[in-house]
Structure 1
Amino acid sequence: MSKYQGPARDLLKYVGGSENISVVTHCVTRMRFVLKDPKKADVENIDALPLVKGTFTQAGQFQVIIGNEVSSFYNEFIAIAGVGDTSKEEAKEAAKQNMNVLQRMIAHLADIFTPLIPAIVVGGLILGFRNIIGDIKLLEDGTKTIIEVSQFWKGVHSFLWLIGEAIFHFLPVGITWAVARKMGATQILGIVLGITLVSPQLLNAYGVAGAKEIPFWDFGFAKVQMIGYQAQVIPAILAGLVLSFLELRLRKIVPNSVSMIVVPFLALVPTVLIAHTILGPLGWKIGSVVSTVVYSGLTSSFGWLFAAVFGFVYAPLVITGLHHMTNAIDLQLMSQLGGTNLWPMIALSNIAQGSAVLAMIYVNRKNEEEKQVSIPATISCYLGVTEPAMFGINLKYGYPFLAAMIGSMIAAVISVGNHVMANSIGVGGLPGILSIQPKYMGTFAIAMVVAIVVPIVLTLAFAKANVGKISLKGKKENSAKAA
């Protein structure tokens, strides 16, 4: 008998049986359920299962954290439950019936940016590595960079920009593809649309401000500026939405016999024209306003207050899914200002959550079963993935989560107060220092130390003071019992 058979039967019973499951799928660490009646799920007994690291509800889905063995467990579960395998997209669509308007908007935004994350992470690592070898004077008594001394590393530095440029400067291609994919439009049309926004024929977005003359298309009765939208987020999203809208509507009215020819042409050509005459300039203006407001807020005399609030609430935002909105803001800041002061705070929040779990490993050092959750969760958190730590440990006890929020808040104030900027996003946790602009790395390192020390000290203090354990259901228990 498989070792997962017993836990799978128990989980099936506690989620309300097969008849209560509308859709079930899994991701890297979690089982994702869309339940017909979420109230039938016995959360307390599910949390008590040895294989379960935690539970939470997000984006209309009841999610059960299993860990790295989720794939094997999932196969056993669906065999016992008698439910069919399904895709994540089908699960998301089914989950929307349990979501309000705001949750749906956030889910759509997340669906656009989530497929782009692997590329953004790679881009962030590349820019970080280029920082180290090209911008920091590490050699000859701090007078020269590595690329100034070594021809090999100079070549590597130049070569890596090929990838970095493809990821960040040509980001609109990925965004328009992701929008088309999300909306059910033809994905290759989304890619073509994105290329028309960053074509070499256009004046590069980064050269617009200093250009003596902007080229244009002359239609006789009208002139359209030939401006590129490299690294621009909002113009790409708007263009992708218009393309999808036109294509999906045309599919309904154009006869099938000619749809393959007519629909792509009538969807793509007008969208490209609209993108360069209306959506591009409008999106650029909106993006500029957003980035200016955020940057001004963070660099104003009240920047410390903004940083304190953001640092304190970012972890709760992750629980609600609202944190996906920061991706668009970060990318817009990067395109407008050449960096972002928002991302460093996110990396610090990751570190703070991991540090709180590290303290809990000591508090519950005699609990061998919990170590199976807490040790991997700490490592995961320090590498930028906080969910196992938050749902498996910190929210389970309550006070470590609060300690991490306080540590994140103090570290964020230090970061923003010293104007720390990141070149890119995507690299979280301890490796996040690689994305920081070289002149701010020392200050960010101090903020990292704070994000490590404060949560550890506060968690140990709260545990010693017997603050109490707060479960996900809100019941208080004596923390000593957990030890």
Structure 2
Amino acid sequence: MSYAMIAEELLSSLGGKENVVSVAHCATRLRVMVANEEKIDKERIEDTEKVKGAFFNSGQYQIIFGTGTVNRVFEAIQGLDLETSSKSEIKEAVNKQGTAFQRAIRTFSDVFVPLIPALVATGLFMGLRGLVTRPEVLAIFGLTPESIPANFILYTQILTDTAFIFLPAMVAWSASRVFGGTPLIGLVLGLMLVSPALPNAWAVGFGEADPLLFFGFIPVVGYQGSVIPAFIAGFLTAKLERRIREIMPESLDLVMTPFLTLLIMSAVSLLAVGPLFHVVEVTMVETTKYLLELPFGLSGLFVGFVWDLIVITGVHHVFNLLEIQLLANEGSNVFNALITGAISAQGAACLAVGIKTKSKKMKALCFPSTVSAFLGIIEPAIFGVNLRYYRPFIFGLIGGAAGGFTAQILGLSASGMAITALPGALLYLDGQILSYFLVHAVSCAVAFSLTYSMGFSDKMLEKR
């Protein structure tokens, strides 16, 4: 079945064009907003080729395809005529679906998920730079760190620093887009926050520059690497732009709306939003660092255990904000190290079920789901196998806790974000690779042994 045929099959199963309000996707799931959940043929969707599971969460019908596949399905769906999805009255009804917390989670996901590909690439660049500049690697080619050309070092800095220098512009662009503003206006405002005319935030932090003082008491600096000020600025920019456009005569709209929006929001962002929410951001980072550095491996034990629980609720994208802040402020991401073992642990539990069962159908489900989990995509293993039989999922949580504990004891920390398990090894090429694989060995051994010994039997199949 081609991707175009899969898209048409999904559209029909979702209740047709008139029932689909919007379609988006994250790394693994197609996220569909529908006008009426009762019109969805859920069994037909789960039987569709390449679908690895589906469930309703946070006001969205989420269809699991896995990394790569979901992008192609989404592109095929974009090729269909979904003009009815823009009807304001249907959108308003859908926006009311779920609790206030669920709607907030959706909003954070919509803002930060589009930024992930750029940040993943940056993290991989950091890992590769750490690898090629290590003395042991250079020695293989008869080189030393001192013999690396200065221009090459400059090029690696361009690869690894650009995304974080202009992070506020990316965040403001995405926030403006999500909240109904013109994305380009949000982008320009974000660039103003990191203008070279302002004292560089990192230079101020290291005492190499002084902030500008407005009115004698408001410190103003660039906001390189900042997230929350840019998010708030993008939100306010979108709201202000829409308000100005409502009252602006059409003949003046093209010129005056962006002019007034940027004029007002540049002052508000630099003089109020920036200084205020920068303090909030620093406080959040310091609090997070404290919680992630609890002694005796307690942080890893807790985070590793609860991560898969967070994944099944669908709110795990909120932690993109945390990881972005850690990378921007600390230059490394300890959170990735604490959760990566939880990913492979669910894969190991699923593998134990596949090896132990005599059911060919179950084996056919378990083994591809295991491969997917070891590549960092755990939804097929969780929703297709482990959660159905409860015990494998619980033992996967225990394996994740063991992996998180080991990661914290070893002081593991990633150079990037958003990839885990085997692909995540690229984030630990700076001398941590052996420790990284040890973490996965521990988490997988615990999850597999517990699941194989007392987590599953074919009698469970008879009860379903």
TM-score (structure 1 length as normaliser): 0.81
Contact 2:211 2:220 in 1 (8 A): yes
1:461 match = 453
1:115 match = 114
Give 1:294-333 correspondences, 5 Å limit: 294-301=288-295, 304-333=297-326
Is 1:274 the counterpart of 2:260? The answer is no
1:195 match = 191
Is 1:181 the counterpart of 2:177? The answer is yes
Deviation of the 1:279 alpha carbon: 1.4
Amino acid at match of 2:186: G
Contact 1:175 1:233 in 2 (8 A): yes
2:242 match = 248
Give secondary structure in 2 for the equivalent of 1:342.
Answer: helix
Contact 1:420 1:444 in 2 (8 A): yes
Deviation of the 1:31 alpha carbon: 5.7
User: C-alpha root-mean-square deviation of aligned residues, in Å?
Assistant: 3.9
Q: Which runs of 5+ in 2 are unaligned?
A: none
Deviation of the 1:4 alpha carbon: 10
Amino acid at match of 1:199: S
- Distance (whole Å) between structure 1 residues aligned to residue 75 and residue 418 of structure 2: 31
Amino acid at match of 1:477: K
Give secondary structure in 2 for the equivalent of 1:401.
Answer: helix
Deviation of the 1:65 alpha carbon: 3.7
- Distance (whole Å) between structure 1 residues aligned to residue 256 and residue 75 of structure 2: 44
- Distance (whole Å) between structure 1 residues aligned to residue 297 and residue 351 of structure 2: 28
Deviation of the 1:335 alpha carbon: 2.5
Alignment match of 1:415 (pick from 407, 418, 422): 407
Is 1:159 the counterpart of 2:145? The answer is no
Give 1:28-427 correspondences, 5 Å limit: 32-38=31-37, 47=46, 52-65=51-64, 85=82, 95-135=94-134, 137-138=136-137, 140=139, 148=145, 151=148, 156-211=152-207, 213-216=209-212, 222=216, 225-301=219-295, 304-364=297-357, 367=360, 371=364, 373-427=365-419
Give secondary structure in 1 for the equivalent of 2:354.
Answer: helix
Amino acid at match of 2:118: A
Contact 2:112 2:320 in 1 (8 A): yes
Is 1:446 the counterpart of 2:443? The answer is no
Q: Which runs of 5+ in 1 are unaligned?
A: 470-475, 479-483
Deviation of the 1:180 alpha carbon: 1.0
Contact 1:344 1:432 in 2 (8 A): no
Deviation of the 1:92 alpha carbon: 8.1
Amino acid at match of 2:360: N
Give secondary structure in 2 for the equivalent of 1:421.
Answer: coil
Deviation of the 1:198 alpha carbon: 1.4
- Distance (whole Å) between structure 2 residues aligned to residue 339 and residue 77 of structure 1: 37
Deviation of the 1:18 alpha carbon: 5.1
Give secondary structure in 2 for the equivalent of 1:132.
Answer: helix
User: Are residues 440 and 306 of structure 1, via their aligned partners in 2, closer, same or farther at CA, if it must alter by over 3 Å?
Assistant: same
What are the Cα deviations for residues 427-462 of structure 1, in whole angstroms up to 9, with x where unaligned?
A: 322222332373544433321211222222222123
- Distance (whole Å) between structure 1 residues aligned to residue 86 and residue 11 of structure 2: 23
Give secondary structure in 1 for the equivalent of 2:96.
Answer: helix
Deviation of the 1:3 alpha carbon: 12
- Distance (whole Å) between structure 1 residues aligned to residue 10 and residue 235 of structure 2: 44
Deviation of the 1:355 alpha carbon: 2.3
What are the Cα deviations for residues 197-252 of structure 1, in whole angstroms up to 9, with x where unaligned?
A: 1122222222212325515266xx55754411111111111111121121111111
Contact 1:24 1:86 in 2 (8 A): no
- Distance (whole Å) between structure 1 residues aligned to residue 28 and residue 206 of structure 2: 48
Moved more, 383-392 or 126-135: 383-392
- Distance (whole Å) between structure 1 residues aligned to residue 222 and residue 3 of structure 2: 57
User: Are residues 369 and 403 of structure 1, via their aligned partners in 2, closer, same or farther at CA, if it must alter by over 3 Å?
Assistant: closer
Deviation of the 1:145 alpha carbon: 9.7
User: Are residues 43 and 184 of structure 1, via their aligned partners in 2, closer, same or farther at CA, if it must alter by over 3 Å?
Assistant: closer
Amino acid at match of 2:123: G
Moved more, 89-98 or 414-423: 89-98
Amino acid at match of 1:450: V
- Distance (whole Å) between structure 2 residues aligned to residue 89 and residue 279 of structure 1: 32
Contact 1:137 1:146 in 2 (8 A): no
User: Are residues 87 and 145 of structure 1, via their aligned partners in 2, closer, same or farther at CA, if it must alter by over 3 Å?
Assistant: farther
Deviation of the 1:324 alpha carbon: 1.3
Give secondary structure in 2 for the equivalent of 1:208.
Answer: helix
TM-score (structure 2 length as normaliser): 0.84
Moved more, 377-386 or 275-284: 377-386
**Number of residue pairs aligned between Structure 1 and Structure 2:** 460
What are the Cα deviations for residues 131-163 of structure 1, in whole angstroms up to 9, with x where unaligned?
A: 11124634559xx996628747x7655423212
- Distance (whole Å) between structure 2 residues aligned to residue 356 and residue 248 of structure 1: 51
Give secondary structure in 2 for the equivalent of 1:345.
Answer: helix
Deviation of the 1:123 alpha carbon: 0.7
- Distance (whole Å) between structure 2 residues aligned to residue 43 and residue 285 of structure 1: 47
Contact 1:357 1:377 in 2 (8 A): yes
Give secondary structure in 2 for the equivalent of 1:63.
Answer: strand
What are the Cα deviations for residues 387-443 of structure 1, in whole angstroms up to 9, with x where unaligned?
A: 233223322333322222111111111112333222221332222233237354443
- Distance (whole Å) between structure 2 residues aligned to residue 200 and residue 406 of structure 1: 49
Moved more, 326-335 or 357-366: 357-366
Contact 1:394 1:400 in 2 (8 A): yes
What are the Cα deviations for residues 266-300 of structure 1, in whole angstroms up to 9, with x where unaligned?
A: 11122112222221122221111111111112223
1:473 match = none
- Distance (whole Å) between structure 2 residues aligned to residue 47 and residue 389 of structure 1: 15
Give secondary structure in 1 for the equivalent of 2:54.
Answer: strand
- Distance (whole Å) between structure 2 residues aligned to residue 87 and residue 286 of structure 1: 41
